[in-house]
A and B are shown apart, each in its own frame.
Chain A
Amino acid sequence: MTVQQQIQTLEDLGGASALIRRSWLENKDQTLDYNAAFLASSYAYPGTDLELSPAIYDDRRNLIAFVSAFPRRVVWNGQFLRLALLTFFTVAPEAKGRGLGKAVWAECLERARGGGYDGAIHYCVVGNKSNFVTVAAARSIGLTSERVFTIKYLMRPLKAPELASESADAAGAEILFRELAAELPSKARLCRSWSEDEIHWNCSVRYGGITEVHPSGRGLLTAYVLNTANTPPVGCLFIEDLLWDDLTADERAKLFKRMLDRAGAKAQIAVAPLWGYSDTEPFVKAGFRRSTRAMHMYLTLWNRHGLNSSPLPMYIDVY
């Protein structure tokens, strides 16, 4: 039986979470606690199709390789593109070196192409072997994965707040999010586009999500908290959407402080990717420092819209 014939579809998120922990902790990379609840939240993203999660099981039905893909819609050069965001790429330690990772990755791209997507997006930690495996897998089916950007990060330790601020009104936050995000295509060349359901997921459903709204109703930040997988775990605040360009510098600083104070109850460190679509001066003023961590971003487009122009600055998420 060939590897291709063995590829099935992911069935059990608990098993996937356990495999991620077992496999990734073997690596020297910092890994996060992608527990079953986090994966369930990820798979609850509107429009997610489990068929885009090819998996390989051994003879005892143990999961030994899989990759997940989630839908993202972006605007690039005035055109809407449907991209499959490939992530959670995992192979069991005892199954490495047999081409299983390359097989599930290529299968995922094939399924996305067959499912009407325009292309795929993925990220690899700089220096990680997955940079080679994923590009080779795409090449094996005649596709080209182009490294379009290296994402740098800012980080800062957090302290537990003396007073926790109240959480944002969810419905109001979602309306404001829609309004502010709609302004971004004029600032980002490759810009994420949101449906109502996706905004609801982002602001109100996602695992560990935090949404902070400025009292003026002119600015909003989102983030989520996820622990590292090592012992003892470190709570990490991942800052996502910076929708604050209509605020003054002072208002941004206050909004930012409110978010960091609130997150400080659950997280010990804050992390922010640098995309270039919004003002990051508040990060510098708040004492953020450049991280040693960096991620390569790849685009694999089979409908070749826009590849002749730089996608920077971008507004998208790292996953």
Chain B
Amino acid sequence: MNSITQSDQLNEELRSIVAGVGGISPDFDSKAHLYNDLGVPSVKALHLLLTLEERYGISIDDDEFVEATSLDSLRALIARLLG
């Protein structure tokens, strides 16, 4: 139950960060392609990467970030890095 709550919390926080940095509405589909479908520009993607590293105190591999193109895949990546 606790892990589910933490997962939900991470999900909602990531959704808020992605929407805020990417300049998109927060009710987006978690499976949608952030760049091709939702139109988050590459300039903002860089800010998203730097924001996530600072927020969670982690180092994200560039190639892994580029491959994480949806909220779901981004959440999986961050969760793995947070251990």
A269–B43 contact, CB under 8 A? yes
CB-contact partner of B43 in A28, A127, A234, under 8 A: A234
A157–B36 contact, CB under 8 A? no
By a CB distance below 8 angstroms, the chain A residues around B41 are 29-30, 228, 230
- Which residue of chain B has the shortest Cβ distance to A127 in the bound complex? B36
**B27 on the A face (CB < 8 A):** no
CB-contact partner of A289 in B35, B43, B46, under 8 A: B46
Shortest B62–chain A CB gap in Å is 4
Interface string of A157-170 (1 = CB under 8 A from B): 10000000000000
**B8 on the A face (CB < 8 A):** no
By a CB distance below 8 angstroms, the chain B residues around A29 are 39, 41
By a CB distance below 8 angstroms, the chain B residues around A293 are 35, 42, 45
**B58 on the A face (CB < 8 A):** no
Interface hits, A239-290 → B, CB 8 Å = 269, 289-290
**Which of B37, B65, B66 counts the most A-chain CB atoms under 10 A from its CB?**
B66
**B10 on the A face (CB < 8 A):** no
A157–B46 contact, CB under 8 A? yes
Given contacts A28-B37, A127-B36, A290-B62, contact A155 B50 (CB under 8 A): no
A155 to B62, CA, bound (A): 11
A153–B63 contact, CB under 8 A? no
Given contacts A290-B62, A292-B66, contact A236 B38 (CB under 8 A): no
By a CB distance below 8 angstroms, the chain B residues around A62 are none
A157 to B42, CA, bound (A): 12
Give how many A residues have a beta carbon under 8 Å from the other chain's beta carbons. Answer: 18
A30 to B44, CA, bound (A): 10
A292–B42 contact, CB under 8 A? yes
A289–B49 contact, CB under 8 A? yes
A155–B42 contact, CB under 8 A? yes
B42–A28 contact, CB under 8 A? no
A157–B49 contact, CB under 8 A? no
A230 to B50, CA, bound (A): 21
By a CB distance below 8 angstroms, the chain A residues around B65 are 290, 292
A28–B38 contact, CB under 8 A? yes
B63–A30 contact, CB under 8 A? no
By a CB distance below 8 angstroms, the chain A residues around B50 are 157, 289
Interface string of B25-39 (1 = CB under 8 A from A): 000000000011111
Interface hits, B39-70 → A, CB 8 Å = 39, 41-43, 45-47, 49-50, 62-63, 65-66, 69
- Which residue of chain B has the shortest Cβ distance to A292 in the bound complex? B45
Residue numbers of B with Cβ under 8 A of A are 35-39, 41-43, 45-47, 49-50, 62-63, 65-66, 69
Of the A-B pairs whose beta carbons lie under 8 Å apart in the complex, a sample of 10, sorted by A's number, is A127-B35, A127-B36, A155-B42, A228-B43, A289-B49, A291-B42, A292-B45, A292-B46, A292-B65, A293-B42
10 other A-B residue contacts (CB within 8 Å) besides A28-B38, A234-B43 = A28-B37, A29-B39, A30-B43, A153-B42, A155-B46, A228-B41, A230-B41, A291-B45, A292-B65, A292-B69
